[in-house]
Structure 1
Amino acid sequence: MTLDILTFGCRLNTYESEVMRGLAATTVNTVIVNTCAVTAEAERQARQAIRKLARERPSARIVVTGCAAQIDPATWAALPNVHRVLGNADKLNPANWAPDAGSAVSDIMAARETAAHLVTEFASRARAFVQVQQGCDHRCTFCIIPFGRGPNRSVPIGAIADQVRTLVAAGYQEVVLTGVDIASYGPGLPGAPSLGQMIRRLLAAVPELARLRLSSIDPAAIDDDLWRLIAEEPRLMPHLHLSLQAGSDLILKRMRRRHNRAGAMDVVHRARTLRPGIALGADLIAGFPTETDALFNETLRFVQEAALPYLHVFPYSERPGTPAARMPAVPKPVRKDRAATLRAAGTVEAGRFFTAQIGRTVSLLTEAGQSGHSEHFAPVRLAHPATAGRLIAARVTGATPETLLAEAA
């Protein structure tokens, strides 16, 4: 056995896991566990995986990294068979994967620079992820991630273009730009380019890239260049996923978010005006401290009024050291019920969106088996298997609340 990687959490972690796969390629009998700290459940799953590894592969060296390890290294170092704990910066340092790199807890708060690493492959994935930004300067009251990722800093445009060019040469048709807060791209770089300016220059520099997609984006920080690209650039996919979190002004204020309900709804309307048919999604937290039934219903109505088909819903999870963890809590069963209600509302909206696609011909990026995703990031089930990683035209013949049904055109 050589090297295995278990990845928890966001697309940025997925990208960094592939960086580590290259850096640690010669490592023998090692499992890297790349953790997430967004929720207590994400941490629980990582701990459970480590204990299972210790039982099933007792001779393997376990290296723990990621945001949870960054925030509380001692706890992770104490788990069975953990050979080393690496901080988020250290895990991307080639020296830490040398045979004589040592063990125990690394200098967790070392190097904060965002270096560029060329990745050529994403294991078992049809699309590739590219880091454009790291860290966050905002302090939402529920979020622990700034403590795990540090301040906002950006990857230079030239390095992003080199990475995308490398991935396209390796056969990838679609690239997803990812980071902690991609809408904050640019400060600190020469000329302080905005996210939209970077994307425009990237697409010009890599004309052979077929499809570009964005990860979650703050609705308060979409710049004018990005709006123009949404309206005019066919290679930028018609799909926006908003870091919304709530649809209640009072809860948004207590979260210390930078948008309000009306501002978020304006983003929804503007996106649909500029790019008719665009697919919209949102991250939502159910049961944030002090959330009453009435305040929750404001968020539920937002989902229904905005007709959001793609929802990522999480019951609120206390993160020690954050201001929200000291606020009056909503009972956990209520959080769970509200999350289920929001997911059900999202399923209704997804069903409507998918039904409206019947009869259309979509551009499909094929994945394993008979699956794929359309330009709107709608999951698609093909009538017959297709080679993964190809762009094909497919005619939508039907829909369920979870997926489109299609045939190759």
Structure 2
Amino acid sequence: MTARAEVISLGCRLNLAESAQMRELLAGEPDIVVVNSCAVTAEAVRQTRQAIRRARRSRPNARLLVTGCAAETERETLAAMPEVDGLVANADKLDPRAWNVPAAAYPAPRQHTRAFVGVQNGCDHACTFCVIPQGRGASRSRPIAEVLGAIARDLEQGVAEVVLTGVDLTSWGQDLPDAPKLGHLVEAILGAFPALPRLRLSSVDGIEVDPLLFDLLACEERLMPHLHLSLQHGADLILKRMKRRHLRADALDLVRRLRAARPELAVGADLIAGFPTETADHHRANLSIIRELDIVHGHVFPYSPRGGTPAARMPQLDHTLIRDRAAELRQAVANQRDRWLGTLVGKPHPVLAEKDGTGYTPHYARVVLPTGTAAGTIVTVTPGQVQQGILG
């Protein structure tokens, strides 16, 4: 029996959304493996190489192709790997012509719980640590009609939650006629699909949250009370050296105003440990912003220099120090998360069931579900305890 096409996804939620589309494109292709790579950190590139080697061991006779950000930023290195049969440009990976397949779409695989819908790609900013613009190119927005069409297809498959994703999600619309803001897209989705139970945003740049989006986050129950900030650091000097467009006070003010209207809001954030020139005081500012924002969903990245970025030419910190500071940040997030989870015990929560017997509350707390709960359904659960970071 001929093995079917396989797509291995690494990295961000946008990659997850694109991988689902690639599976649809390649559904009729036999014996092909695609590694949809990530290049956000040196560790991500290492994991990409590992995934390639594992894929070759498990599918020795398959045609193995690599796409994604690392296929751009590490093109020569990946192309030289003996396991790799070819590379597909990141910008072309959703184009049927890049795979030599018919343009007619195959039925998408059924998604029982949530659908990741990519609405924006690329980035026009120049953060000094980031290699992603090299892998993704300039910012491009998906028009509203196209987004609505994609969501309509997902809802036909029984999806209960839609997650909007992008490289720089809050820049959506700036390249479209009249330059609409992300709030306009969110409002259009909620208006077009009144039966959609849940709409969630992936990582957002807080400084780009427009007034309409703010109002929807504050007041619209179907837009989940879960804000994941592309924060990166808690010290203003480091933020300036990163060429971020916000300061510490901007993040604090945004969360304060949102929580005043919607107290149940759960905050997540991306944080970098050990950025070049980071002092002990800067690290303490990173730790303290976790407490001040009450960050309960943290993505902590130990800084690693990426070739071709300005930060790679700055004075670097010792690797052991970076690792230790990252561990402290993760522990600080874990402390906030444990405290927060404790406040959810004994209260009823609507939980979207996953296939593995757990599910997620609107603010993205994971919950163990009663045996036999059907995936894709939303059930009310009153957890009685917290065990290993999961409500039960």
Q: TM-score, normalised by structure 2?
A: 0.96
Flag the 1:402–1:121 CA change in 2: closer, same or farther, 3 A. Answer: farther
Residue 204 of structure 2 corresponds to which residue in structure 1?
A: 217
The answer to whether the Cα contact below 8 Å between 1:300 and 1:342 also exists between their aligned partners in 2 is: yes
Q: Whole-Å Cα distance in 1 between the matches of residues 111 and 152 of structure 2?
A: 20
The answer to whether the Cα contact below 8 Å between 2:269 and 2:297 also exists between their aligned partners in 1 is: yes
Residue 354 of structure 2 corresponds to which residue in structure 1?
A: 367
Residue 148 of structure 1 corresponds to which residue in structure 2?
A: 135
Q: Whole-Å Cα distance in 1 between the matches of residues 356 and 33 of structure 2?
A: 28
The answer to whether the Cα contact below 8 Å between 1:230 and 1:274 also exists between their aligned partners in 2 is: no
Describe the SS at the equivalent of 2:324. helix
Flag the 1:217–1:120 CA change in 2: closer, same or farther, 3 A. Answer: farther
Describe the SS at the equivalent of 2:344. coil
Post-superposition shift, 1:209? 1.1
Q: 2:184 aligns with which of 177, 197, 210?
A: 197
Q: Whole-Å Cα distance in 2 between the matches of residues 187 and 132 of structure 1?
A: 12
Q: 2:336 aligns with which of 306, 325, 349?
A: 349
In the alignment, structure 1 residue 21 sits paired with structure 2 residue 23: yes
Q: Whole-Å Cα distance in 2 between the matches of residues 119 and 277 of structure 1?
A: 41
Residue 307 of structure 2 corresponds to which residue in structure 1?
A: 320
Post-superposition shift, 1:119? 9.1
Q: Whole-Å Cα distance in 2 between the matches of residues 119 and 38 of structure 1?
A: 31
Describe the SS at the equivalent of 1:92. coil
Structure 1 vs Structure 2 CA RMSD: 1.7
The answer to whether the Cα contact below 8 Å between 1:369 and 1:385 also exists between their aligned partners in 2 is: no
In the alignment, structure 1 residue 12 sits paired with structure 2 residue 20: no
Q: Whole-Å Cα distance in 1 between the matches of residues 320 and 263 of structure 2?
A: 39
Post-superposition shift, 1:71? 2.1
The answer to whether the Cα contact below 8 Å between 1:121 and 1:128 also exists between their aligned partners in 2 is: no
Describe the SS at the equivalent of 2:130. coil
Q: 1:336 aligns with which of 323, 348, 362?
A: 323
Amino acid at match of 1:292: T
Could you report, residue by residue, the CA deviation over 1:157-196 in whole angstroms, capped at 9, with x for unpaired residues? 1111111111111100000000000111111212211000
Q: TM-score, normalised by structure 1?
A: 0.92
Could you report, residue by residue, the CA deviation over 1:79-130 in whole angstroms, capped at 9, with x for unpaired residues? 1232210111221110122269xxxxxxxxxxxxxxxx98965677621100
The answer to whether the Cα contact below 8 Å between 2:171 and 2:182 also exists between their aligned partners in 1 is: yes
Aligned length: 389
Give the gaps of 5 or more residues in structure 1.
101-116
Amino acid at match of 2:268: G
Flag the 1:173–1:82 CA change in 2: closer, same or farther, 3 A. Answer: same
Residue 245 of structure 1 corresponds to which residue in structure 2?
A: 232
Q: 1:170 aligns with which of 157, 166, 184?
A: 157
Q: Whole-Å Cα distance in 2 between the matches of residues 123 and 172 of structure 1?
A: 8
Amino acid at match of 1:20: M
The answer to whether the Cα contact below 8 Å between 1:122 and 1:128 also exists between their aligned partners in 2 is: no
Amino acid at match of 1:6: I
Flag the 1:120–1:218 CA change in 2: closer, same or farther, 3 A. Answer: farther
Q: Whole-Å Cα distance in 1 between the matches of residues 143 and 123 of structure 2?
A: 17
Q: Whole-Å Cα distance in 2 between the matches of residues 118 and 193 of structure 1?
A: 29
Amino acid at match of 2:13: R
Q: Whole-Å Cα distance in 2 between the matches of residues 286 and 336 of structure 1?
A: 8
Q: 2:5 aligns with which of 3, 26, 37?
A: 3
Give the gaps of 5 or more residues in structure 2.
none
Flag the 1:119–1:345 CA change in 2: closer, same or farther, 3 A. Answer: farther
Q: Which moved more, 1:11-20 or 1:71-80?
A: 71-80
What are the residue-to-residue correspondences of 1:10-409 with 2, within 5 Å?
10-98=12-100, 121=108, 126-400=113-387, 402-405=389-392
Flag the 1:95–1:255 CA change in 2: closer, same or farther, 3 A. Answer: same
The answer to whether the Cα contact below 8 Å between 1:288 and 1:329 also exists between their aligned partners in 2 is: yes
